[in-house]
Amino acid sequence: MTGNDIDRRHRFAQDCARQAGAIARHYFRSGEALSSAEKGRHDPVTQADLEIDRFLIDQLAGAFPADGILTEETGGSPARHLWVIDPIDGTLNFARGIAHFAVSIAFCVDGQTESGVVYDPVSNEIFTARRGQGAFCNGRPIRVRAARGPSDAIVDAGYSLRHPAADYLGLIGNLLGQGYAFVQNGSAAMGLAAVACGRIDGFCELSLKSWDVLAGLLLVEEAGGWTSDFPHGPGLLENHKVLACTPSIRQSLQDLMLAATTPRGETLLSSR
Ligand code: IPD
Ligand code: CA
């Protein structure tokens, strides 16, 4: 696959994200598709998630029939050329009428994310990154913030019931103990976009899926931040710890996450 092939997909992903976001916005404003079924405790899926998932699969499979597709609601399997999609990241917010959710689309080649798009349909902000070409919000370049240290930093510490509460409490305790401010805004994709554009300084979560984070991780990387590696191949279907931040607090956050969760000797997060 050539750079031009990836560029074409990067542009197409942005069009698709905007259209998908328009569907989400319509449902969000009308309240029509906010009722939901539960996939798990505090883990809903709405009619809008399913409709957008189908819409994106149809669009991408129609334009690029040889590419693989992995989505939150339909699944899929790893492939050399792979779309990884979350139709709505932050579904719990969406379902409760809280305007903090996003469409997330990543495109990967041979185990590396090459294009990432996160679209917030309520604020109409589109965050985009193409590997090696920087990160942008609505076409303007974005950079991570140069935090001076923990007492100058806000970290989004995402939470789900997939991970033991004790570990999460340990993590929050460690963050507060070091002097960080923390938030839990309920969308990993949006949290990572916020790091990329310097609104906050770090994002971490103990257990996340590839569709929640691949696009956002590339945003942070291309905005000058540090990110943990997310395993590709079969690892794309599993839960992993995720950390992304401005470089000045990388060591401190990495140590915090290790202290909160890791049995002695385990390597938790690899650095780039
Ligand atoms: C969730 C969001 C949330 C995170 C959860 C994810 P979903 O994804 O990213 O911020 O804390 O772990 O499951 O279900 O809204 O796509
Ligand atoms: Ca989702």
pLDDT at 265 (0 to 100): 44
For residues 171 and 126, membership in a common domain is answered with no
For residues 171 and 255, membership in a common domain is answered with yes
- Tell me the sheet residues that pair with 20: none
What atom of ligand 1 comes closest to residue 93's alpha carbon?
15
For residues 158 and 125, membership in a common domain is answered with no
Give the Å distance between the CA of 185 and the centre of ligand 1: 10
Which of 3, 21, 143, 25 has its CA nearest to residue 85?
A: 21
Is 53 near ligand 1, meaning CB less than 6 Å away? no
pLDDT at 18 (0 to 100): 98
Query: What residue numbers bound the domain in which 186 lies?
Result: 150-261
What atom of ligand 1 comes closest to residue 191's alpha carbon?
10
Q: How does pLDDT run along the chain (272 residues), one tens digit per residue?
A: 999 999 999 999 999 999 999 999 999 999 876 666 776 676 777 899 999 999 999 999 999 999 999 999 899 999 999 999 999 999 999 999 999 999 999 999 999 999 999 999 999 999 999 999 999 999 999 999 999 999 999 999 999 887 888 889 999 999 999 999 999 999 999 999 999 999 999 999 999 999 999 999 999 999 999 999 999 999 999 999 999 999 999 999 999 998 887 554 444 555 44
Q: Strand 181-183 vs strand 140-141: parallel, antiparallel, or unpaired? A: unpaired
Tally of domains within the chain: 2
pLDDT at 264 (0 to 100): 45
* Candidate of 42, 72, 89 to mutate for ligand 1, largest count of ligand atoms within 8 Å of Cβ: 89
User: Of the bound ligands, which one is closest to the alpha carbon of residue 242?
Assistant: 1
For residues 120 and 36, membership in a common domain is answered with yes
Is 212 near ligand 1, meaning CB less than 6 Å away? yes
For residues 7 and 77, membership in a common domain is answered with yes
**pTM value?**
0.94
Longest dimension (CA), the chain: 52
Between CA 136 and CA 101 the distance in angstroms is 18
Give the Å distance between the CA of 2 and the centre of ligand 1: 33
For residues 121 and 223, membership in a common domain is answered with no
Which residue, of 113, 141, 169, is where some domain finishes? 141
For residues 164 and 193, membership in a common domain is answered with yes
